[in-house]
Structures are given as structure tokens and as C-alpha cells.
Amino acid sequence: MKKPAGEIQSAIGRDRVNRLRMSTRAAHARAAHTLYEVIESFRRFSLLRLTIKTGRTHQIRVHLSSIKHPVVGDTLYGAPSRIQLSAGKQTLPALERNFLHAAFLQFLHPRTKQTMSFSSDLPEELRSFLDQVRKLDADS
């Protein structure tokens, strides 16, 4: 079975009320395009692979929040500060950051025009959190 995938094409601009936030409902917005693929699904979460086609401020955070799926740990864009899994019985420890990680980056060097590529494994803090989610999901 093919894993769910899709794209979000919503312009992004500065939020009219909270100037710290960006929004897909801003008066002055610029085109933004994000592709996503579900890598792993849990009861309350999904692990995604994202490809950004544009480079807007907070693009991933704004786009996922706009479809009612905020990034874990991102309280600015709608994620809860505490994560309860089942009717108050199981709580995950607070993640002290957003669950975002650039596993692969590629761009053209502005001077040499050479393709630059970088990759990085998931940091221990995020790997540990993901392992806890997997364990709690399996135990339920």
C-alpha cells in the first residue's frame, strides 16, 4: 500500500494580529509550496518527509498548522504544550523544541554555482522522543 502523500500550496505572509507569526491568511503573502509524505503513522502523530519548493519564513510550521496538523512541540502554531495519549493515562515528557530536523539539504552555491549537499541523522533528543511514541503506541 502506498503511503499517504500530498502537497500544500498556500501563500504565506506576516500574521495581521501576532507579528511573531506567519499566516496563510495574511494580507500581503507570497506563494509557498510544500510536498509531504507520511513515513510512519501512530494514533495521534505522523512522521513526515517534507520537501519545500519555496523558502518562506516558518513555511513548514505554517503549512502544517494550516491543515490542522501542527509540528510536535510548536506551541506558536497550535501544538499542545503537553502531550496526553489516552484519556489522561499516558503523558509524553515535554519536548523542549519543535520536532523538526533537516535530514537533507541541497542548493546551488551562490558564487561557484556548484551543487552543495548535506545530510544529518536525527538527533538523539528527537530519536528518543520518537522511540517513546512508538513504544506507547504499541502498548495501547
> According to DSSP H, which parts of 1-87 are helical?
59-66
Q: What is the pLDDT of residues 63-83, one digit of tens each?
A: 999 999 999 999 999 998 887
CA distance 75 to 16: 18
| Largest interatomic CA distance in the chain | 56
Q: What is the pLDDT of residue 139?
A: 76
β-pair partners for 52:
34
Residue 87: pLDDT above 60? no
Q: What is the pLDDT of residue 3?
A: 72
CA distance 135 to 140: 9
Q: How far is CA 95 from CA 25, 27, 78, in A?
A: 28, 33, 14
β-pair partners for 96:
none
**CA-only gyration radius of the chain, Å:** 17
Q: Which domains does the chain show, CATH number per domain?
A: 5-139 (3.30.2350.10)
Residue 32: pLDDT above 90? yes
Q: What is the pLDDT of residue 82?
A: 80
Torsion angle (degrees, nearest 10) of CA 138, 92, 125, 5: 60
- Count of Cβ atoms closer than 10 Å to residue 83 Cβ: 20
Residue 86: pLDDT above 70? no
∠ CA(20), CA(23), CA(29), 5° rounding? 110
